[in-house]
Structure 1
Amino acid sequence: MSDPRRRRALLTSGVLFLAGPFLPFALGVVERRLGRGREAYSAPGPLREDPFVEVIIPAYLEESTVGATVDRLTTDLEKSSVRHLVHVVASDGGTAAAAAAAGKVTLTGRGGKPAAVNAAVEQSTADVLVLTDANCRIEPPDWPVRMLRELQETSLLSANKTEQGSDDVLFWRLESLLKRDATKRVGSLGVVGEFLAMRLRDYRPIPPATTSDDLWLAMDFDSRGLRVGVSPTITTTEDPAPRPEQWERRVRIAYGQLSMALPQLRALSRTPAGRNYLAHKMYRLTVGAAAFWTGLGAAVSLRPRALVPLIGVPVAAAVAQYRGLLSVRTPLDPLAAVVALQAIPVAAVSRIVRRRLSRDQPTVGWRKVPR
């Protein structure tokens, strides 16, 4: 490839990569001009005056975290004067014992998160379901009151996720901004499994082999004309995982999104929130990441060749640091994390291809690090 063609490739790739954060906003402008928005979704049914809320915590190897989570949730619900049940579905004996203070504990074998949630919902008599994790904190303490208020306008409600002291601070800030804008306009499918609230009557069982249960629920609600949104006032907070575990978690999430959303491109493109999801999440995981690596290849191929280590070494170091292979810390770690995140889709696609070629049968759950 000649130098002019390399430069054009570098310029085009740079534009495509940098367009990613702005694309959902641009789509929003177009949607507004076309008159597409909330009217595409039916209004959620009213809640009873004193709704009964069941918080379901599917937990596996969470012996050191689940007890404090149960206590915190119970306190928040009681102070908010909300009728409630905290239900822990434990897949191991240690977690079940640690969750003894919960209103209900169900001990099961390890059948995966979808099976645990389905089993709990099948037994439920609540008006409102809340799905959350054993290792996160829901803020602020009056979240039950805020949740019930916001469910008056939304069928499936999620929260903004944060991680204390995480190098992904720029990522989480962008996510919050994009989700807030989308929720105001058409709704957002960018939900997180750490907090999902819905009416019991709207829940449909999650298929057992589902790789991303939160995305499946969001897509299912959206396909039925039920509005999905992210709360502007409720957040979930958790401590960042060790870097090797964080890398695996990111790859797992990207794997789930790609393997579930790509086959549903046509269906997603038919709804306002689905189109926003494609411009937000799917663009970043596909076009955005491909543009980054194409641009990087074009940059290192340009003369002088002395540029190769000046570009390649920092990028390789950023990825190695994010994976926990390099323990050096610098003030530029948040920027390095942005670079490293571009390697996540590559690893996820590689995993999808390997599993398809090897014809591996779906496994139950993911590798779990005890907490």
Structure 2
Amino acid sequence: MAEAIFWLCLLLPVYAYLGYPLLVALLAQASRPRPSPASAEPPTVSVIVAAHNEAEHIGAKLRTLLGQDYPGERLQILVASDGSTDATVAEALASGDPRIEVLELPRQGKAAALNAAAARARGEILVFTDADNRWMPDCLGELMRAFADPQVGAAGGHIEILDGGPHLGLGDQLYRRYETWLRRAESRAGCLVAVDGALLALRRELFRPVPAEANDDFFLSTCAPAAGRRIQFAERARVLDRGVDEAGKQFRRRLRVTVGGLQSLACRRALMNPLRHGRYAIALLSHKLLRRLAPLLLIPLLASNLWLWDAGAFYRMLLLAQLGGYALALAGLLDRGRRLPKPFRLAAFLLVTLAGMTLGLWQFLRGQRYSLWTPQQNR
């Protein structure tokens, strides 16, 4: 029994984090590149920025949006202030540009702010973005190229972390690169699961109101496959962001993302039917569900490995590797002087991430949900 538990708890995480990405990479290599449709007239765009107490960032954000190399008459910018108590609204109104509309809303949560802004949007394409990241000047134009293909219902850009920070930010930076590689492969294989909310575009007719307890980026992305359309990764649409360096913030971020992600999967459970959605359903199960369940298996993996100490050299070697990895991570967490080499910080990032995901799964099963957001706590 201990051996069966051991192999089950080992192989599922290995598949989720290594086997599935390799499978998608092979599918991507075997897929024929889709021909680029002829460029049509640029679509009208409504850029939606949900903000809560973003006075520090909103001015610079709006300047990057207004500075896009895109026809100005085809651009609408909506700032949805979710009960901000600082100068967010005043800063957003300061430019006086008629393309900017500010919605001063009561505090209800990010989903309600996005839904209110989407109801006011006039553009053919809705583009959702955060207040604290910066777009490259050609970002919007490159993102809109994806919609020349009528089968594309949603698209996302390439998020670059320029300054990860001296501690856990290094792991955050490398994890984003791994996610970028995986999204590129999924997009080419025709089964891109979702894109990052820092830059997410959706055809307006596909928009559905975001549930209060769901992860908005995942829910909005999946509006496309729910309608039989594809999600595309627009790699040349670049957004500059920053990593999360502090352990506490990384833990809280992963906790909330896990709870919201599982709630989102519950809302979109129909998409996990391979008989109806084919390889997209398999990608969704592998990328989103199994990955979130995998951290919970690490505890029985360690316990069964202890039980199997006398079963052979292989089991002893793997147990020592597990214990060594946890020791490496704990040393990295305690290294406040940042003197230890990078592997210690990477192990610390993994431990904090896995701990946040495990607690997030537990909270989801207990019925804990998050509807309000305070973005400053997770930066």
Give the TM-score of the pair, scaled to structure 2: 0.79
**Which whole-Å CA distance do the structure 2 matches of 1:189 and 1:49 have between them?**
28
CA distance in 2, matches of 1:280, 1:247: 20
Tell me the C-alpha RMSD between the 2 structures: 3.6
Distance across 1 between alignment mates of 2:230 and 2:289: 20
Within the alignment, does 1:285 sit opposite 2:292 as a pair? yes
- Whole-angstrom distance in 1 between the partners of 2:260 and 2:46: 27
Check 1:141–1:301 CA distance in 2 against 1; reply closer, same or farther (3 A cut): farther
Structure 1 residue 142: Cα displacement:
0.6
The equivalent residue for 2:48 is 56
The partner residue of 1:353 within 365, 369, 372 is: 365
2:76 aligns with 85
The equivalences for 1:153-232 within 5 A come to 153=149, 154-163=152-161, 164-165=163-164, 166=169, 167-207=171-211, 209-232=212-235
Partner residue, 2:23: 26
**Does the 8 A contact of 1:179 with 1:230 survive in 2?**
yes
- The answer to whether the Cα contact below 8 Å between 2:28 and 2:186 also exists between their aligned partners in 1 is no
The answer to whether 1:74 aligns with 2:66 is yes
- Superposed CA deviations along residues 282-321 of structure 1, whole A, max 9, x for unmatched, are 22111x324433323334455499x989854752673696
Which residue number in structure 2 is paired with residue 41 of structure 1?
none
1:266 positional shift: 4.8
Q: Describe the SS at the equivalent of 1:65.
A: helix
Partners of 1:191 and 1:218 within 8 A in 2: yes
Where in structure 2 are the equivalents of 1:226-245 lying within 5 Å?
Answer: 226-241=229-244, 242-245=246-249
Tell me whether 1:95 sits opposite 2:100 in the alignment.
no
Seen in structure 2, the aligned counterparts of structure 1 residues 147 and 264 have a Cα distance that, compared at 3 Å, is closer
User: 1 CA distance for matches of 2:71 and 2:9?
Assistant: 54
User: Could you tell me how far 1:159 is from its partner in structure 2?
Assistant: 2.1
Which sections of structure 1, spanning at least 5 residues, go unmatched?
39-43
Cα displacement (A) at 1:135: 0.8
**Identity across aligned pairs (percent)?**
24
CA contact (8 A) 2:24 2:185 kept: no
Of residues 292, 295, 298, the one that matches 2:301 is 295
Which deviates more, 193-202 or 24-33? 24-33
Structure 1, residues 63-105: CA drift from partner, whole Å, max 9, x if none?
1111111111211x2x333431222111215211222226222
- The letter for the 2-side match of 1:111 is Q
| Contact in 2 for aligned 1:190/1:281 (Cα 8 Å) | no
The 2-side partners of 1:47 and 1:124 are apart by: 24
Does residue 341 (structure 1) correspond to residue 353 (structure 2)? The answer is yes
1:203-224 CA-partner distances (Å, limit 9, x unpaired): 22223x2321121122332111
* Local SS of the residue matching 1:16: helix
336-345 or 66-75, which deviates more: 336-345
Paired with 1:243 and 1:281, the residues of 2 have a C-alpha distance of 23
Contact 1:55 1:129 in 2 (8 A): yes
AA paired with 2:124? D
Structure 2 CA distance for aligned equivalents of residues 185 and 220 of structure 1: 19
Q: In 2 relative to 1, CA 169–289 (structure 1 residues): closer, same or farther, beyond 3 Å? A: same
Is contact 2:254-2:357 (8 Å) kept? no
The AA in structure 2 aligned to 1:315 is Y
Aligned to 1:106: 103
Distance 1:204 1:122 in 2: 10
Q: Deviations over 1:97-127 (max 9, x none)?
A: 2222262222111111121112112122222
* Contact 1:317–1:326 (Cα < 8 Å) also in 2: no
User: TM-score scaled by structure 1?
Assistant: 0.80
CA contact (8 A) 2:173 2:243 kept: no
Query: Secondary structure, in 3 states, of the residue corresponding to 1:135?
Result: coil
Structure 2 CA distance for aligned equivalents of residues 51 and 216 of structure 1: 23
Distance 1:274 1:237 in 2: 31
In structure 2, relative to structure 1, the CA distance for the partners of 1:293 and 1:205 (3 Å cut) is: same
CA distance in 1, matches of 2:48, 2:156: 14
- 2:313 maps to none
Whose RCO is larger (CA < 8 A, sep 6+)?
A: 1
Does the 8 A contact of 1:55 with 1:84 survive in 2?
Answer: yes
Distance 1:217 1:345, change over 3 A: same
Deviations 1:249-291 (A, max 9, x none): 11111111112214644532331323212112222111x3244
For 1:254 and 1:180, how far apart are their aligned partners in 2? 23
Shift of 1:184: 0.9
C-alpha deviations, 1:233-259, integer Å up to 9, x for none? 223332223331222111111111112
Structure 1 match to 2:282: 275
Shift of the 319–119 alpha-carbon distance from structure 1 to 2, 3 Å rule, reads farther
State the shift of 1:170 in Å.
3.2
